[in-house]
Amino acid sequence: MTEYDLIIVGGGPIGLACAIEAQKKNLSYLIIEKGAIVNSIFNYPLYMTFFSTAERLEIGDIPFNCLAPKPGRQEALEYYRNIHRYFNFSIHLFEKVISVQKQQNSSFTIVSDKNSYQAKNVVIATGFYDIPIEMKVKGEELSKVRHYYKEAHEYAFRNVLIVGANNSSVDAALECWRKGANVTMVIRKNEINSRVKYWVKPDIENRIAEGSITAYFESNISEIRENEVEIETPNGKVTIENDFVLALTGYKPDLTFLEKMGIQLSEDELKIPIYHPETMETNVEGLFLAGVVCGGMQTHKWFIENSRVHAAMIVDHITSK
C-alpha cells in the first residue's frame, strides 16, 4: 500500500490550502472529502454574502476577483473550483473518513467508507457545519423543523418561526419576510447578536421596531406541535400558529471523531482540542488540526481569513522534521 506523506481530511478552503503547501514542498498527499469540493460553502444559503472581503478568502496566491465588495456563495464556489483546476489536486470526493488510527510504527491508517490508506502525517480540516446544535425541546423531531436554511421560497406566505439572532438567523428572517412569510423570531438574549453583519443589523432591528417581524427576546421555545409553537417569554407562555421552525442555533465539530483519534479536548464546555499553536500538531504526534475545527465549540474564533496560515505552519513543521 502506498504511504502518503500527508493525508488531509476535509476538502474545504483550509484543506485545499494545506494541499497547496504540500505541493510546494513536493510532499505526496491526498485530500479526502465526504461531499463536494468546499462542501460546507455548497451547503450555505443560496444568496449568502460573506462577511470577509474577497482577498481575505484567497488561497495559493490566486486572486479572487469579485465585482461587489464582499463575495457571495456562488462566487466563492466558482473561485474554489478554479483553484482546483489550477492546482489539479489529488482529491477523492464523496468519500467519508471513518477512522484515523496511529500504528506502532508511527504511521497512520486512515479508513474511509470506500478504501483504506497509510500516511506519515494527517491533517484534520473538517470544519464544524455537519452537526446542528439541538434545542432539546419536545417536537424538535417533527419534519417541519429545519436546522439548515437554503432559500426563502418554500416559506413564502407561511407562518415561520426562526430561532436565534446570529447572521444565519437574521439573513433567513429578512429573506423570508421579503418573500411574503409571516416571520417570528425567538431570541435567547435581549438583543440581536453584535456579530451580525454591520450592514444587515440595522435592517433587522428596524423591521422588528416597525412590527414587520415579531421578535420575542429573552425567550425560548418550550414545545413544538404540528400547527403551533409554545414560547416561554419573560411575560409568561405564548402560543402562536406555526408552519415551519428554522432552528438556526449553530453547529459544532464532530468532537467524538476527534476523541476517537486520541486527540485530547479541554475539560470545560468549550471542548477545545489540544494542539501546539505554532505547529498545529495535536497531542498525537503527526496528527494536525487546521481551520475552524481548532476552536471546538468556540466556532466563531476561526474563519477562512485567519486560519489560512495553518497550512504553511503544518507543512513547514512536517518538512523540518
Grid coordinates belonging to 4: 502518503
Give strand ranges (E) for 242-295: 244-247, 251-252, 287-289
Burial 66-100 (b: 16+ CB within 10 A, else e): beeebbbbebbbebbeebbeebebebbeebebeeb
User: Which residues does the chain have with pLDDT short of 70?
Assistant: none
CA-nearest of 113, 97, 106 to 293 is 97
Quick one: fold of 3-131+251-320? FAD/NAD(P)-binding domain (3.50.50)
pLDDT score at 300: 82
- Predicted pLDDT of residue 58: 96
Topology agreement, domain 3-131+251-320 and domain 134-247: yes
Cα gap 212→178, rounded to integer Å? 10
Give the start-to-end residue ranges of the domains of the chain: 3-131+251-320, 134-247
Question: What pLDDT is attached to residue 128?
Answer: 86
pLDDT tens-digit map of 110-135: 999 999 999 999 999 999 888 899 99
Architecture of domain 134-247: 3-Layer(bba) Sandwich (3.50)
